[in-house]
């Protein structure tokens, strides 16, 4: 599942938000508070479709594009799934 990278800090602003990646030193601007709400919902427990549920159908393409850009720039990522625990060896 897509989630905010752990090295990214979010600072809400009247226009949307600033995202700063401490690993890459990249700064991104979210120009819509609704996009900030979607990013906050991406906490690893909901799907992208669930996070976008409140966005009107006519705006979904632009929101998906913005989220794709955030993923390409490392602001959002798919965290590695830890390996399944191994049972005792016999």
In tens digits, the chain (90 residues) has pLDDT values of 899 999 999 999 999 999 999 999 999 999 999 999 999 999 989 999 999 999 999 999 999 999 999 999 999 999 886 555 665 655
How far is C-alpha 60 from the chain's CA centre?
15
Residues paired with 10 in a beta bridge: 19
The pLDDT assigned to 53 comes to: 96
In-domain check, residue 16 = yes
pTM, two decimal places: 0.83
In-domain check, residue 80 = no
In-domain check, residue 77 = no
In-domain check, residue 87 = no
In-domain check, residue 68 = no
Number of domains making up the chain = 1
From residue 13, give the alpha-carbon distance in Å to each of 1, 18, 19, 46, 77: 26, 7, 10, 25, 23
The pLDDT assigned to 80 comes to: 80
In-domain check, residue 84 = no
In-domain check, residue 50 = yes
The pLDDT assigned to 88 comes to: 64
The pLDDT assigned to 87 comes to: 58
Nearest to 76 by CA among 1, 6, 3: 3
State the residue range of the domain holding 32: 3-58
In-domain check, residue 45 = yes
């Amino acid at each position: 599942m897509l989630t905010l990278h752990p090295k990214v800090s979010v600072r809400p602003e009247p226009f949307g938000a600033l995202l700063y990646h401490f690993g890459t030193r990249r700064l991104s601007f979210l120009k819509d508070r609704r996009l900030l709400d979607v990013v906050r919902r991406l906490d690893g427990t909901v799907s992208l479709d669930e996070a976008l549920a409140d966005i009107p159908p006519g705006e979904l393409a632009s929101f998906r594009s913005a989220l794709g850009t955030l993923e390409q720039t490392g602001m959002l990522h798919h965290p590695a799934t830890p390996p399944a625990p191994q049972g005792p060896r016999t």
